[in-house]
Amino acid sequence: MTSGDNLLVAAIDFGTTFSGYAFSFRHDYDLNRLNIFANTSWIAGGAGLVSWKTPTTLLLNADQSFNSFGYQAEEDYIGILDNDDEDPDNYYYFKRFKMLLHGKLTLDRNVMIKDIGGKEMPALDVFCHSIRYLKDNLMTTLENRSIDIKEEEIRFVLTIPAIWNEPAKQFMREAAVKAGILSRNLVLALEPEAASLYCKHIPVDRMDTGNPGETSIIPFQEGMSYMVLDLGGGTVDVTVHQVTGDDTLKELFKASGGAWGGTRVDQAFQALLKNVVTETCFDAFCRDNRPDLLDFERELELRKRTVVDSARKPVVMKVPIALPTTYEDMTDKSRDDAIKESIHNGKITFKRDKMLIDVDLFCGCFTDCTESIKGHVEDILKRPEINGHLDAIIMVGGFSESAIIVQSLRKAFPGMRVIVPQDAGLAVVKGAVLYGHCPTSISSRVCKFTYGIAAKATFKPGIHPESQKSENNGKFYCKNVFGKFIGIGENAGIGQTVKQSFGITSLTAPVVIEIFASTEPNPIMVTDEGCTKIGSITVRPPEAGWKPDTDLEVDMDFGSAEFTVSACDAKNKTDSFSTTFDFLE
């Protein structure tokens, strides 16, 4: 689909911890781009609280068929655990499984994933069930609003971390197609880019700069540049954009980031508890008291967002009675003994069903995340592409609602405007809707790797390895030379393709071109360290086969959110051929 030919754009924000969706009609986009509807029908557990998002939690039946998703899956699973007539092992329960795809330069489409109890099933099916639920829930919402529209009239946008590689992107696309979304109607949006688009349009009075009453500097005028920190549950994504003369966004530095999201705080807090009640007792509590563990996780999620490091009062958390009871039963010691014998003696107190934690100790659970984020931002600011000049840092994503994280960044960069949008947790999904209406809003991107193919070249002594040397008609050649398409850090504009010509070896066989990615700017061989085969391009012959003199011209676009490729006859460019990428093993 091209921009403007869809009646409605619906974005699905598939997160590590929470997921949701939003949508808007084309006519609303034309009148007011921020007139975007975000679903508010998620009910947060027994408290009956309305939430903008629902947990990325999936419950399947014994035959791997769908049971429930989100808050409902959590409640249903608790019911199963509390029902003596039910066996939890007859169900599959998945949570926070998106990180399976993080950092993968190679990925098998048949990769398996374990549920909370250790049972395995194909990861593609787990992602498919989840995306299908969100899509179907969207269609139900549209129906309840008396909106008569067919799925094929909707452009679907699926959000993904910008630091994900091509195999992970393809995996998500295949899962979405398996979930019933037409591939031609599907667009992948990079999460921080989507957030950047949204922030570019929201009024300045809906920005929190940390300075009361500051409205004198309007962000995002032509020539201004800013960094977007998309802080999620699993990852922190970072992009740097500049507003261009045609009101699009140009990427100044390649998308980057790491696994520094909110789940790292959870892990640090668990380590703190293990120092108090011992690792053996904590693991036993988690294994035998899953309903209590879920309540405890929700309690921690709330405290992560509300505690400020400038507070002097202890952090009060409701603790399931099963936690200290498990310790007492397994050790024949009291909960007070646990504290006295731990390294946190004097900083933690148990009072009935409450645990009082020294605020500095609690904030220490954020240290790993905050130091990683600050260090990464400092490194980017030193890059020659940025040269220390940014007009603002924008924090979005659910984890940016944590006052501890926000305060940490503002203290680390006192001369920088650190901005948090009013609805930071929805910036990605609403921005993805904007992107779906106009994918050309991002005019250029910076390559994360050097891309190329395995080529045959004239042998160069001292440069090429002797092991790759071959002779033909008295001339010496080297195989597996890195044939560079585009280099790491180079600017790739939308629609600006890299052209390469290839010959055919068989009149009937497809031409398969293997693609390699390298972390070096100018690799010599595809066998060099830091170089990985990430997939292949397949160009299929016409029904009548290739013409004997065919030379293929393959055009590759490295500037889009996903790689695109096309092929034609180099002599007669009106003859195009079926061409596909495949990044999954």
Over its length of 585 residues, how does the chain's per-residue pLDDT go in tens digits? 344 567 899 999 999 989 999 999 999 998 899 999 998 778 765 555 567 889 999 999 999 999 999 999 999 998 998 888 889 899 999 998 998 888 777 888 999 999 998 999 999 999 999 999 999 999 999 999 999 899 999 999 999 998 888 899 999 999 999 999 999 999 999 999 999 899 888 765 555 556 655 543 455 778 889 999 999 988 899 999 998 888 889 999 988 999 999 999 999 999 999 999 999 999 999 988 988 888 898 889 888 888 887 767 899 999 999 999 999 999 999 988 988 999 999 899 888 888 999 999 999 999 999 999 999 999 999 998 887 788 889 999 989 989 999 999 999 999 888 988 888 889 999 999 999 999 989 988 999 999 999 988 899 999 999 999 998 888 999 999 999 999 999 998 887 788 888 888 888 999 999 999 999 999 999 999 999 999 998 999 988 899 888 888 888 888 888 888 888 888 888 788 888 888 887
Final residue of a domain: which of 186, 202, 218?
202
What is the reported pLDDT for 559? 84
My answer on whether 172 and 275 are in the same domain is no
Residue 515, SS3? Answer: strand
Final residue of a domain: which of 202, 217, 247?
202
Token pair belonging to 548: 């004997």
What is the reported pLDDT for 155? 97
My answer on whether 94 and 164 are in the same domain is yes
Kindly tell me the sign of the dihedral angle through the C-alpha atoms of 425, 426, 429, 434: negative
Residue 382 lies in a domain: no
Name the nearest CA neighbour of 22 among 420, 395, 431, 441: 431
Residue 378 lies in a domain: no
Ramachandran area for residue 65 (φ above 0: left; ψ -120 to 50: alpha; else beta): beta
My answer on whether 46 and 165 are in the same domain is yes
My answer on whether 542 and 462 are in the same domain is yes
My answer on whether 196 and 293 are in the same domain is no
Kindly tell me the sign of the dihedral angle through the C-alpha atoms of 430, 431, 433, 434: positive
Final residue of a domain: which of 321, 336, 364?
364
My answer on whether 196 and 270 are in the same domain is no
Residue 495 lies in a domain: yes
My answer on whether 181 and 266 are in the same domain is no
**Chain center to CA of 314:** 34
How many whole angstroms separate alpha carbon 83 and alpha carbon 427? Answer: 40
Name the nearest CA neighbour of 526 among 570, 465, 583: 465
Place of tokens 């460019």: 573
pTM here? 0.87
My answer on whether 155 and 271 are in the same domain is no
Long-range Cβ contact pairs of 213-220 (< 8 A, separation 24 or more)? 217/417, 219/391, 219/392, 219/417, 219/419
My answer on whether 197 and 299 are in the same domain is no
Residue 401 lies in a domain: no
Label residue 2 exposed, middle or buried (CB < 10 Å: 0-12, 13-18, 19+): exposed
Q: Which domain holds residue 357?
A: 262-364
My answer on whether 56 and 192 are in the same domain is yes
Residue 301 lies in a domain: yes
Residues 6+ apart with CB under 8 A from 243: 200, 220, 221, 222, 223, 224, 225, 249, 250
Contact, 552 vs 540, CB < 8 A? Answer: no
Domain count for the chain: 3
Name the nearest CA neighbour of 534 among 167, 270, 130, 211: 167
My answer on whether 156 and 273 are in the same domain is no
My answer on whether 15 and 139 are in the same domain is yes
Residue 577 lies in a domain: no
Residue 432 lies in a domain: no
How many whole angstroms separate alpha carbon 409 and alpha carbon 388? Answer: 16
How many whole angstroms separate alpha carbon 190 and alpha carbon 200? Answer: 16
Residue 40 lies in a domain: yes
What is the reported pLDDT for 211? 62
